Structures are given as structure tokens and as C-alpha cells.
Structure 1
Amino acid sequence: MTFGFESTTDDVLDGIDLTGHWVLVTGASSGLGQETARAVAARGANVVLGVRDVAKGEAAAEPVRAAAAATGASVELRAVDLASLSSIRAFTDEVSGSHDRLDAIIANAGVMGCPEGRTDDGFELQFGTNHLGHFLLVNRLRPLLAGGPARIINLSSAGHRFSDVVLDDINFEQTAYDPWISYGRSKTANVLFTVELDRRGRDAGQRSAAVHPGSIMTDLGRHLTEETLSTLQAARAGRPTNWKTVPQGAATSVWAGFTADADEMGGNYCEDCGVASITDDQNSPTGVFAYALDPDSAKALWARSEELVAESFPA
């Protein structure tokens, strides 16, 4: 069956049985993460919900638990702050201590277009949260994926077009901070991380994809101001915004995670339930910039990320 822009999570997962699977979803307390968790639980998957705010997460977990109750699946809610390496280490230690395997990780959490800030460890907030946080979380949990075919889905964005990564200036110490350049760097990093992650895991059946969900009204925009919104609108001049519903936005995540052929999705940037083509047109409504898929840049980012989080991970 062919899926596309208008496909929803339920369309993509129609007829799919995930009974017995263990799926971990970060940023599950609202929007795309919540819908992704609900959709896989409705197909029988056991779900670990990683949330920053446990109280908010409890409320968001209600539809996920309702879906799981209908299929006999289980739902776990665990606290993790992607802007804190110590929180990530505590979270991954807890998950590893209570589980002997995972079948999929959906690295969905993130921040967008926020004022200049720092993580608990002193990293620029968007790069530190969106990339370094998930780099550490995913790599510390990768041993749980080693038992069989598994997938890791990293949420990226068309915002990767705002900037390539700049590995010698991740904290904007050499250039003036710009919220959209920062966001672009972090979203490009999500794709490059995917490229190298898939290369390292391919032979063991661990496949990875980066996903652009589309334009959706979610809590991700909570940090936006009138100034950052006007800047974004100016950057998008000539490129209309085609809005998606939350179930449509989460569809590509579950397509890449549970439906797509492994060799089709592996190491690629996906959108609208398919693999995106490479483009250099800033005004094109679809496509991925070539620098986000460069294997040498991906290897360099991996090495730099290991230095920054002070942990090394096997090839």
C-alpha cells in the first residue's frame, strides 16, 4: 500500500501486529510523541514513555493506557530531561536495569526556536537537547536492541535547511546566537547522527532513519515569540505551509519504525511516509539538503559528540 502526506498513524499501522514488542518514545507527554505511543500500543506494543514532566506525562498517558488496555499491552512512564546528561544516565540505567530488550526507540523529544540558553551541562540549549541528549540516550540503550531486528527513529525537521552543523562553534561562542540557525544545526545533527548510527548498526539489524513530521500545531512551539515567528515566516516566504494533523504528523515515524522496508528507510531522511529526495532548493516544500546526509560529516559529528558527553560507544 502507498502512503503519503495525508496518511495517519492508524492508516500506516493498519493490519500490523506489534504484540510483544517493546517501544521507547521520548517526548511522549504531548503531540507527536503521545500519538506515536498511542498508535503502537493500539497494535499491541508495550511502551516506555520518556517524559520531562511526570505530572504532565501522567495525564498524557491516559489515551496510551486506554489503547494498551484494549490489546493487553503495558505502559511505563519514566522521567528524563534531555537537557541533563545526569538525568539521561539515570533514565537509561533504570530502563536497562528493568528490561532485557527493546525493539524500537522513537527519539521524538525536542525544543524549537527558543531564546539562547544552556543545558545543565553548559551546552547551547537546542543542540544540547535535540542532538546531544538523544545521542547519549540512544547509545546507552543500544545494547537492548542487540537481540534482533530493531529500529531507531530520530525526529528531525525541514528546519535542517537553516544550517549545517558547525562543530567548532556549537555554543555560539564565535558567532551571534540566532534561534533558527541553532535549530537548523540541531536538526541537521539529528540526520547526520542517523547516517552514522545506521552505518554502525546495519550489519546487526539495527536500522535508523531521520523523520520530518511536517508542519503541525504542537507544544513544540511553546518557546516561540513574535520576533522568532516573524523571522520564520520571512524565511518561508514563497513556500506555503501545508498543515498536518497530529496523527498525520506522527505517521512517518511509525512508517519508518514499523512498516517501511529496512533497506529503504535505513540511513535516510524521510517525510510524508517515504524517503525524501535530495534538493538544494530552499523553497521546495519537500526534500533534504545534501550536507545532512554526508557520511564524513556524520563520522565527525559522532566523534565530537563522544567528546562532549565524555562517553565512547563501540562501532
Structure 2
Amino acid sequence: MKKIAITGATSGIGLETAKALLEKGNHLIFLIRDIKKGKQMLASMPNAENVQIISCDLAELSSVKKAAEELLKTNDHLDVLINNAGGTFEKRLESKDGLELHFAINHLGHFLLVKELIPLLKKSHTKIINLSSEAHKAGKLDFNDIHLKNKYSTLKAYGNAKLCNVLFTKSLARKGFTSYSLHPGVIDSGFGNNLSGLFRLMWKLGKPFMKSPRQGASTSIYLALNELPKEQNGVYFKNRKPFRSSVDSRNTAIQDKLWEISEKLVTEKLGSNS
């Protein structure tokens, strides 16, 4: 059985992924913001005794660092890390560190988590799975305005964050890690609850055509439990099959620039919080 850490395990795709992995007898580490909710969820989960809960707020870099420290202190092996948590927001919001919230939660929090866990990830040959979206194809990063202070839109912010997930995955593969990104499908869950107006209407109209959270979890579960050919390392998956991601996501210069900026941001923000 595998030891698997997962962010965002208390709702939507993350919850269904966690349930399925527990049903198969795996040991899970929940990296979650709402500890009370997590404990309530465990009451209805199979093999709940196989779960360790660690507090982790991806919108606060100091919380992510503390979570990584606790994980390292309490575990000497990790087979899989699923960076599942995400979110979308209609208005431009900032994290506790002053970062645009899509970028903070969907990308930078997970970037820091991986960075802090590198000794364990290397020792364990951990597989890293990053949830992205087809929306990444609409992403176009402006490194002079990574926090979209000038021309914000929900679609731009979300697309950029999901592009970051694919870029990060490919960077990890180039650096010698095993990593995959994936599109889970458009899911009928609470994901669109933060939207209003036209966006909320469009979300409701699309509900009959959406996958259930369990269906959306299928590719995450597949990647977590199966060994794939080396040539598929760094690849983007849909419906448990490899697909070609966007042109920008395959640009190594953009991959390197995102890594450089991410390193700089976490160093600056953690330094200012210490």
C-alpha cells in the first residue's frame, strides 16, 4: 500500500480521490486548511484510521512551511504527493502574503510545499501530481504583472494559475522528479460557488453536462496508483490518457522564468514574515 499526501481533501475531487485511495487501503496525509471539517469528513470515510491530518493553508506561505516541517518530522517516506487544492474567485483578491489569490492557492502554495519537501521527495522517489485544467490553454503569463494588478479578469487569473500548474510539472520532470499534471474534467461540485452574475449563470447552465466529483477524480487516482513509462514523465493527462498541453506550457524559457519568480517570491514573503 502507498503513503499519499493530498491537499484539498475535504471537498469535490479531492474528497472523492481521498475516499477511493482509502478504500484501496492506502495511508493518506491530509494537508488541509479546515481541521474541524477534515475530522468530520473522516467519520464517514473508509479506513479513517489510515489518515494523518496536518494543518495547511495554501493562501499563507508560513502555514505551508509549517505543514511541510510537520510532514517531514512525522514521515520518513512518501510515495505520492497530490497537489489537488484550488479555487476560483470573481473579484481580485489577495492572499495573506499580498499575492493574487488564484496564483497563491493554485500555484505558489504548492510550489513552496514541494520545495520544502525536496529531501523527502528525492529520498522516496515521490510521484508529484498537479491538478490543472484545460483552462491552462487560455493562460498567458505576464511576468511584469504576475498578480494581475492592471488587467484582472477571473478567466485570465484562473487560466494563468492552471498554466502555472503545467509549467511547474514540466520543470519538475526536467529537474529529475516524477511529475504529472491533469485536467479532471468540468466537475459538478462547489467549485463555482464563489462566482456571481453571468459566470454563476453559465456555471449553472453547464451543470447537466458536467462530470461527478468521483468521475473527475478518476485521472488523479489512475496517476497515483499506476507506474507509467518514463517517456510520459512531465506529461499532461485527460481521461487517464496523455494529451499535448499548450505551446506556452512546453516553452522551457517560460518554465524557468516561472520557477525563478516563484523562488524569489517565497523567499521574500517568508523573509518578511519571520
1:298 counterpart (236, 241, 255): 255
CA deviations 1:206-237 (Å, max 9, x no partner) are 31011110011122222111233357799x9x
Q: Equivalent residue for 1:252?
A: 219
CA deviations 1:257-288 (Å, max 9, x no partner) are 222514253111111001113xxxxxxxxxx3
Q: Give the partner amino acid of 1:166.
A: D
SS of the residue corresponding to residue 267 of structure 1 reads: coil
Q: Equivalent residue for 2:32?
A: 51
1:231 & 1:182 partners in 2: Cα distance?
18
1:207 & 1:27 partners in 2: Cα distance?
21
Q: Give the partner amino acid of 1:125.
A: L
TM-score, scaled to structure 1: 0.79
Q: Give the partner amino acid of 2:200.
A: L
2:21 & 2:215 partners in 1: Cα distance?
14
Q: Equivalent residue for 2:107?
A: 131
The CA deviation at 1:101 is 1.5
Seen in structure 2, the aligned counterparts of structure 1 residues 167 and 308 have a Cα distance that, compared at 3 Å, is: same
Q: Give the partner amino acid of 1:23.
A: I
Structure 2 matches for 1:81-120, cutoff 5 A?
81-120=57-96
The CA deviation at 1:46 is 0.7
Q: CA RMSD in A?
A: 2.2
Structure that is richer in helix per residue: 2
2:44 & 2:29 partners in 1: Cα distance?
14
Seen in structure 2, the aligned counterparts of structure 1 residues 233 and 220 have a Cα distance that, compared at 3 Å, is: closer
1:310 counterpart (258, 267, 270): 267
TM-score, scaled to structure 2: 0.91
1:241 & 1:140 partners in 2: Cα distance?
41
Structure 2, unpaired ranges of 5+: 269-274
Q: Equivalent residue for 1:142?
A: 118
SS of the residue corresponding to residue 310 of structure 1 reads: helix
Q: Equivalent residue for 1:7?
A: none
Q: Give the partner amino acid of 1:297.
A: I
1:45 & 1:246 partners in 2: Cα distance?
20
1:45 & 1:83 partners in 2: Cα distance?
28
1:259 & 1:47 partners in 2: Cα distance?
17
Q: 2:89–2:194: 8 Å Cα contact kept in structure 1?
A: yes
1:181 & 1:310 partners in 2: Cα distance?
26
2:225 & 2:251 partners in 1: Cα distance?
25
2:195 counterpart (209, 224, 228): 224
Matching of residue 265 in structure 1 with residue 240 in structure 2 = no
1:265 & 1:243 partners in 2: Cα distance?
27
Q: 2:83–2:129: 8 Å Cα contact kept in structure 1?
A: yes
Matching of residue 62 in structure 1 with residue 37 in structure 2 = no
1:102 & 1:84 partners in 2: Cα distance?
23
2:16 & 2:232 partners in 1: Cα distance?
21
1:167 & 1:260 partners in 2: Cα distance?
35
CA deviations 1:123-155 (Å, max 9, x no partner) are 001011111010001221122122344210000
Q: 1:113–1:228: 8 Å Cα contact kept in structure 2?
A: no
1:243 counterpart (195, 200, 210): 210
Structure 2 matches for 1:194-209, cutoff 5 A?
194-201=169-176, 206-209=177-180
SS of the residue corresponding to residue 152 of structure 1 reads: strand
2:240 & 2:89 partners in 1: Cα distance?
25
The CA deviation at 1:256 is 1.8
Q: Give the share of equivalent positions with the same residue, in percent.
A: 35
1:214 counterpart (159, 168, 185): 185
SS of the residue corresponding to residue 143 of structure 2 reads: coil
